Amino acid sequence: MSPERKAASIARKVNDYFDEAPVERTQTVRYGGHEESGPAVVDQEAVDEEFIYGRNAVVAFLIEGKVAVNKIYMASGLESDRRIDKIKELAKENSIVIATVEKRKLSDLIGDRDKHQGVVAQIAASEYLDLSEFLDQFDAEKAALEAEGKSLDGYTVAILDGIEDPHNIGAIVRSADAAGVKAVILPQRRSAGLTRTVARVSAGALASMRMVRITNLVSTLEKLKDRGFWIAGLALEGAQGIYESDLKRPIALVIGGEGDGISRLVSEHCDFLVKIPMHGSVQSLNASVAAGVIFYEVVRQNLASKVDVKPAIEAASAISAPTE
């Protein structure tokens, strides 16, 4: 579809929804870098850009529901109307955070343009699953494995608690994909969204990784426990080393931000805490590096458990046995 037809389609959806006739005045329509003058109600960037702006455009994309939205920014002191009320309603229904910011921030987000009408939405670079969708998929995978007589040992999900740097999230997604992690779970708040930076740093892994967005981290941990997951929190203190921990089970690994680590409440709901031994002067690792280390310790333990070492032990015993 051409840019001008796409913009017109968006405009029609908004007008149909509010049962209004199109605005009569002539204005410039922007879509995908294309400009054309004519009757329209939407001033819109391409869908594959990071932001959409303007009340009509944001309403239309939320109604259509085909594009995941990380966050909606609204100008402080914004005068409300039906579109603003609808944006707030749809954001609540879809668990999208609305951040109130200075008007200047909105212009900065979309490149110093003042056509945002007080509303800017940040588009996710990938679709989110909600927790119920992931759990339904897990149940189906579990049933299939059990039908084949296979166990769920080594089935791993990663849970990110308070990681707000998109570079870290992108790197974690890349390592998770390489290590066979089944899903990455992100809280709605205190986390970076799936921005273009996350997509770029993940080196393509974001396209295939299941990304699950949740509203309550503690509730999520309990639901995972009900499905048979063990919850392991990566910590610095009060924890056993990862090499002494049994990670050969369905496991959810909680990884905290570099500053504060996992929160106290989350750590209290973990089944056990683990730490990466540090042998130098530095006492902590970058969150994405730490994630990669523990992902591959899970891989190592599960590979080792499948290797039959009995013949090697018997051979070694025969060699070392005293001769008569």
pLDDT band at 158 (very low <50, low <70, confident <90, very high): very high
> What's the confidence (pLDDT) of residue 66?
61
Name the token pair of 182: 């089944």
Given a cut of 50, whether residue 20 has pLDDT beyond it is no
- Range in 137-151, 162-176, 209-223, 298-312 with the lowest mean pLDDT: 298-312
Q: How far is CA 186 from CA 182, 211, 256, in A?
A: 14, 7, 11
Q: Dihedrals φ, ψ of 142, to 5°? A: -60, -45
Confidence check: pLDDT of 316 > 60: no
DSSP string of 204-232, one letter each residue: TGGGTSEEEEES-HHHHHHHHHHTT-EEE
Q: What amino acid is encoded at 251 in this protein?
A: I
Could you give the strand order of the β-sheet that contains 97-101, starting from the edge strand earlier in sequence? Answer: 51-53, 119-123, 69-75, 97-101
- Average pLDDT rounded to a whole number, residues 279-303: 91
Most confident of 181-190, 279-288, 293-302: 293-302
Predicted pLDDT of residue 60: 79
At 48, is the pLDDT very low, low, confident or very high (cuts 50, 70, 90)? very low
Query: What CA–CA distance (Å, rounded) separates 136 from 61?
Result: 27
**Stretch 251-275: mean pLDDT, rounded?**
91
Helices assigned H by DSSP within the chain: 3-18, 55-64, 82-93, 103-109, 131-147, 166-178, 196-201, 217-226, 264-268, 287-305, 310-320
Q: Which residues of 236-252 are buried (b: 16+ CB within 10 A; e: fewer)?
A: eeebeebeebebbbbbb
In this structure, what DSSP letter does residue 164 have?
-
- Sheet containing 272-275, strands listed edge to edge, beginning at the edge strand earlier in sequence: 129-130, 210-214, 183-187, 156-161, 251-256, 230-234, 272-275, 240-241
- The pLDDT tens digits for 112-139 are 566 778 888 887 767 788 899 999 999 9
Does the pLDDT of residue 262 top 80, yes or no? Answer: yes
Question: How much is the pLDDT for 6?
Answer: 52
Give tens-digit pLDDT for 83-92: 889 889 988 8
Residues 14, 210: Cα–Cα separation, whole Å: 31
Residue 149 contacts residue 179 (beta carbons within 8 Å): no
- pLDDT of 156 higher than 50: yes
At residue 34, does pLDDT exceed 50? no
Domains of the chain (ranges, CATH numbers): 3-123 (3.30.1330.30), 129-305 (3.40.1280.10)
